[in-house]
Amino acid sequence: MSLLRQYLRDAWWIALGYFVILEAALVAAIIYWPKFRDNVPAIAKLVPFESLQRLLDSVEIEGYWPYFAVQQWFKGCSLFGLAAAAFLTSGIVARDPDQKTAEFLLSRPVSRSRVLLTRWLVVVTLVIIPVYLTSFTAIWISPAVDETLAWSDVLLASSYMSLFLITLITFTTLVSSLSSHQLRAGIILIGIMLLNFAFYLIQEIDEISLFKSIDVYVFMEIKAGQWPWMATGCFVGATIIMLLASLKIYNRRDF
C-alpha cells in the first residue's frame, strides 16, 4: 500500500492535467461540430494528405460518429494519452538509478516484481480512467448539438482505445527497465509514434503504421458490431510479452 501511495503522490497531478486537457479538447470539438458539419466539402479540399481526406469522407457519409471518433480517440487519446504514457511511464524503473534511490527501494521487504507491477498498474489506471470518463461525458454533452451517442458504442470503443494505450505503456515500461535515464523511455516512445504518424500520412506505407489500428474506420466497424479481434489479439499479446520481459529484466538488473 505504501508503494501505491508513493507512486500516486508523484503521478496524480500529471494524470489530472491529462484529464483536464482531454476533456477541454473534447468539449471544444463537440461545440465545433455544427460548423464543421456544414463545411466538410470545403474543408476536404484543403486537406493535403489522402489518408486525412478519407477521414473527412467518412464524416461526410456517416456524420457525427466518425467525427467524434477522430476527435476523441484518434486525435485526443492518441495525442494526450501518448504524452501521459510517456511522462508517467518513462521513469517507472529508470528514475531509481537516475536519482540514486534504487538501493533504498530494493532494501525494503518487497519483491521487485511487486514494485514494478504496482507502478505499472498505477500508470495504466491513471492513463485509462480519463479515456472512459471523458468519453462518457460526451454522451451527455452531445445532445447540445442535436446528436446522440450510444453507451454501448462508446464503452466498446473506449475499451479498444485503452488496449492500444496499455500496449504503449508496457512498451515504455520495457524500455525504462533497460535504461538508467528517467526521460529516455518516454522520448523513445514519442519518437516512434511520431514516425508512425508520418507513415500513416503516406499512402504506400500507411498500412504498417500503428495509427492504422486506431483510425476512424476501425471505430466505425466497432459501431457496426464488428470487433477488431486481430488487432486486439496483437495488443494483448504484445502487452503480455513486454510485461513479462520487463519483469525478467528488472529482477535480474544489477543497479
Q: 76 falls in which pLDDT band (50, 70, 90)? A: very high
Give the chain's domain count: 1
Domain containing 78 equals 2-252
Is it the case that residue 44 has pLDDT exceeding 60? no
Query: What tens digit of pLDDT does each residue of 124-139 get?
Result: 999 999 999 999 999 9
Query: What tens digit of pLDDT does each residue of 81-138 get?
Result: 999 999 999 888 887 776 666 666 666 667 888 889 989 999 999 999 999 999 999 9
C-alpha to C-alpha distance for 80 and 118, rounded to whole angstroms? 23
Of 71, 80, 75, residue with least CA distance to 149 = 71
C-beta of residue 29 within 8 angstroms of C-beta of residue 72: yes
Which whole-number Å values give the CA distances from 147 to 33, 63, 69, 190, in the listed order? Answer: 10, 10, 14, 34
Q: 49 falls in which pLDDT band (50, 70, 90)? A: low
Helix, strand, coil shares, percent, the chain, to 5: 80, 0, 20
Of 9, 156, 137, 130, residue with least CA distance to 76 = 130
- In terms of C-beta density within 10 A (0-12 exposed, 13-18 middle, 19 or more buried), how is residue 171 classed? buried
Q: 54 falls in which pLDDT band (50, 70, 90)? A: low
C-beta of residue 161 within 8 angstroms of C-beta of residue 174: no
The 3-state DSSP class for residue 237 equals helix
Handedness of CA 2, 107, 88, 13 (dihedral sign): positive
Q: 3 falls in which pLDDT band (50, 70, 90)? A: low
